[in-house]
């Protein structure tokens, strides 16, 4: 597409990468929900469920890891703005049909930019933490399907997975 028809927000007129200036944006309530899965053998899932993973309580440690990651997203992703986060919640579902663990993170702030990356980072690090905690039992676990489920707030409006893609 010609440059005048579509421009990338993180590229300046000279083609250089840049952080977006959000100084003139309105402060609004912004929420993002992300999800992902860690697939594992049924035997490994049974060990997690029974609290028999040698390193300790897998889900509690993954929850703490996910929360820490959301708070430090701006240190990890080059063009993310540091944000004061009002709420971070991680939920885990042990799913025998998967088999594995479904992860869901909800992040909320009142700010000038969204929290999609914080929610995605929380899910990613929670999944990596689950892998780290359970790798002695199984090294063949798969981290899969990390995605944005929904977001609200800001000029880009709402997004819900499976709906029409918005261009922010």
Q: Which residues are catalytic?
A: 132
- Point out which residues pair with 89 in neighbouring strands: 106
E-only strand ranges, 17-167: 28-39, 87-95, 100-111, 142-152, 159-160
User: What does 31-75 look like in DSSP terms, one character per residue?
Assistant: EEEEEEEEE--HHHHHHHHTT--TT--HHHHHHHHHHHHHHTHHH
């Amino acid at each position: 597409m010609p440059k005048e028809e579509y421009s990338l927000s993180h590229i300046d007129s000279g083609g250089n990468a840049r952080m977006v200036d959000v100084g003139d944006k309105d402060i609004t309530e912004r929420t993002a929900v992300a999800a992902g899965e860690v697939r594992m053998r049924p035997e490994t899932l049974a060990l997690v469920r029974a609290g028999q993973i040698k390193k300790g309580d897998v889900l509690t440690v993954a929850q703490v890891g996910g929360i820490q990651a959301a708070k430090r997203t701006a240190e990890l992703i080059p063009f993310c703005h540091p944000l004061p986060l009002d709420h971070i919640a991680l939920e885990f579902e042990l799913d025998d049909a998967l088999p594995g663990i479904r992860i869901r993170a909800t992040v909320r702030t009142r700010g000038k930019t969204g929290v999609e990356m914080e929610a995605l980072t929380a899910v990613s690090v929670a999944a990596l933490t689950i892998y780290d905690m359970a790798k002695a039992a199984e090294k063949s676990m798969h981290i899969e399907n990390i995605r944005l489920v929904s977001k609200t707030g800001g000029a880009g409006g709402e997004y819900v997975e499976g709906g029409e893609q918005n261009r922010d």
